[in-house]
Amino acid sequence: MSTKKQQQEESEILAGEMCPFCHEKKLVLMDMKKEIPFFGALFIFSMDCSGCGYHKADIEAEKQGEPSKYTIELSSEEDMKIRVVKSSFATVKIPHVGDITPGPSSNGYVTNVEGVLNRMVKQLEIIRDNAEEEEESRKKAKNMIKKLHKVIWGQEKQKLIIEDPTGNSAIISDKAIKEKLKVTKKIEE
Ligand SMILES: [Zn+2]
């Protein structure tokens, strides 16, 4: 028997599956188990179609936590390396900048703080570059992008909040404050 620590990563890939959207056999399904330090085992699923560009990904913790809210005060470039686990049900709040909200097209992923901020930058760039948006909101988006770049370079402080009613998300740092998230039931329309 080997004394070497067993690698906790297992993955399964199915290629050439029928895509439910373009009906071409170009869908790749991936299912992976990954060990995240100070978090535990995580299952990562993804679907990618090279035919139509469809992409869906999500994560699920092996040991699911309770609905939670993580808050962190970002104050240095070093903070950008902090690992973030975000499920498709999580809401990312960047106070005074914007939110990344869950929805049918939202994805789950493992990233770091910089990755989260860059996703927000991309979201703002779409507004900034959209000629149909009002001049005022385009200008605001442009200023927010500038602000986020300063945060990424460690020149400006910024709060980052991740709320997940499914308890699958986390900001993995001693600096992060974890609270129980009060889950309000959605009112059916
Ligand atoms: Zn497709």
For residue 28, report the distance from its CA to the centre of ligand 1, in Å.
10
Report pLDDT for 90: 97
Residue 9 CB partners (closer than 8 Å, separation 6+): 32, 33, 34, 35
Q: What does the DSSP 8-state code read for residue 38? A: T
For residue 25, report the distance from its CA to the centre of ligand 1, in Å.
8
Report pLDDT for 134: 96
Average pLDDT by consecutive 10-residue portion of the chain (189 residues)?
53 95 97 93 96 96 92 98 97 96 92 97 96 96 97 98 96 97 67
pTM value is: 0.87
Residue pair 92/115 in contact by the 8 Å Cβ criterion: no
For residue 138, report the distance from its CA to the centre of ligand 1, in Å.
33
Report pLDDT for 106: 92
Report pLDDT for 1: 46
Domains of the chain, each with CATH number or no CATH: 9-63 (2.20.25), 64-189 (2.60.120.1040)
